[in-house]
Structure 1
Amino acid sequence: MGMSVTISAATERDAEQILKLQYLCYQSEAEVRGDYSIEPLTQPLDSIRAELNAGQVLVARLGEEVVASVRGTVDEDGVAHIGKLIVHPRMRGHGLGGRLLGAIEERLRTAREAKRFQLFTGHHSDRNLRLYRKHGYAPVGSHQVDDRLTLVTLTKDVGLLTRTA
């Protein structure tokens, strides 16, 4: 390839690429659930644009292409909610998800004064669960959505942040 992946704040111009990447990345989750009406597959472009203004959205680029993204907000109690960490299937397995996770944690800690991080994933999402545990997250609860899906909530205190180079 010859190009390196860079991580930066998403801009309005990235909204459409984020939406397309999100649609691609959540196909496997929809297949596992047998439900293609899940929110990541039905989210409208205007909603992603609103998220760009409401919180922190980071993208990873390979040249001009958005190949990964993550979103985060911090509530009034200082809990940072991290969501929709997505990596293009051809870019998985190279540490990009971990780099993005570290970058959004740092951004939410410094810009939004987060005290704790929280995220969730499906109980069958072994790759996600391994990634989150590797980065210091611990399961704190679960919620059964339906017969096929239980969401696992994981948290991490700011003091457990791992610094990235």
Structure 2
Amino acid sequence: MIRVCIDDDFEAIFQIINDAAEAYRGIIPVDRWHEPYMPREELRAEVSAGVSFLGYEKDGELAGVMGIQDVQDVTLIRHAYIRTSQRGHGIGGELLGRIMGQATKPVLIGTWADAVWAVRFYENHGFKVVSTQEKETLLGKYWNVPDRQIETSVVLADQRWFAI
């Protein structure tokens, strides 16, 4: 069951993000990795900045989350993570499908360039990687990330973005 996450889900969201982010260890640049991958304070700051989460609940427990954030004229998908033990069961696709079904603006996703499985997931769901020049512009306009993260990331966009 997909549902909107509530304040009481904060700890589960934190656990899911950091469990799933273990896949990045040794893949993303060493200077971008830290323990935990996303500290509670950072997650709280993201929520305070307008990131809201949809969760996939299975057997009474959150199995995956996907954050969304409306910024100016686009919707960003933020912090999409599935518990390691629940991967490969279509949870990410269901969460993404729900978000895309409700989106009224172009949808953008930023992820690590070396996280090829994540890039492939979004490409398999109709997203396309934007050019390096456009990526730099978009990450500077819609996200608040350091220059080093801009260097090591990609941005994917849905069809609505390319129709503008």
Q: TM-score, normalised by structure 1?
A: 0.75
Unaligned ranges ≥5, structure 2: 137-146
1:57 paired with 2:53, answer yes
Assess, with a 3 A threshold, how the Cα gap between structure 1 residues 95 and 79 changes in structure 2: closer, same or farther: same
Q: Check conservation: 2:28, 2:114, Cα contact below 8 A.
A: no
| Identical residues among aligned pairs (%) | 22
RMSD of Structure 2 on Structure 1 (CA)? 2.8
1:74 and 1:40 map into 2 onto residues whose CA distance is 28
2:112 and 2:51 map into 1 onto residues whose CA distance is 23
Q: CA deviation at 1:106?
A: 2.8
Q: Check conservation: 1:12, 1:49, Cα contact below 8 A.
A: no
Q: Check conservation: 1:139, 1:155, Cα contact below 8 A.
A: yes
Which of 88, 92, 97 in structure 1 is aligned with 2:92? 97
Which of 126, 131, 146 in structure 2 is aligned with 1:141? 131
Q: CA deviation at 1:44?
A: 3.6
1:145 and 1:33 map into 2 onto residues whose CA distance is 11
Q: CA deviation at 1:125?
A: 1.8
Question: Aligned to 1:124, what secondary structure does the other structure show?
Answer: coil
The equivalent residue for 1:157 is: 159
- What do the CA deviations read for 1:107-159 (whole angstroms, capped 9, x no partner)? 4x2xxxx420100222222221221111110111346837xx72111101349
Q: CA deviation at 1:74?
A: 1.2
Q: Which runs of 4+ in 1 moved over 4 A?
A: 49-53
Question: Aligned to 2:88, what secondary structure does the other structure show?
Answer: coil
More strand by share: 1
1:15 and 1:145 map into 2 onto residues whose CA distance is 28
Q: CA deviation at 1:26?
A: 0.9
The equivalent residue for 2:43 is: 48
Q: Which amino acid aligns with 1:138?
A: K
Instruction: Kindly tell me the number of residue pairs found equivalent between the two proteins.
Output: 147
Q: Check conservation: 1:11, 1:52, Cα contact below 8 A.
A: no
Question: Aligned to 2:158, what secondary structure does the other structure show?
Answer: strand
1:17 paired with 2:20, answer no
Q: Check conservation: 1:51, 1:57, Cα contact below 8 A.
A: no
2:31 and 2:101 map into 1 onto residues whose CA distance is 33
Unaligned ranges ≥5, structure 1: 1-5, 161-165
Q: CA deviation at 1:97?
A: 0.8
Q: Check conservation: 1:22, 1:41, Cα contact below 8 A.
A: no
Question: Aligned to 1:93, what secondary structure does the other structure show?
Answer: coil
Assess, with a 3 A threshold, how the Cα gap between structure 1 residues 39 and 21 changes in structure 2: closer, same or farther: same
Question: Aligned to 2:25, what secondary structure does the other structure show?
Answer: helix
2:55 and 2:20 map into 1 onto residues whose CA distance is 14
The equivalent residue for 2:116 is: 126
Q: TM-score, normalised by structure 2?
A: 0.75
Q: Which moved more, 1:118-127 or 1:80-89?
A: 118-127
Q: CA deviation at 1:56?
A: 2.8
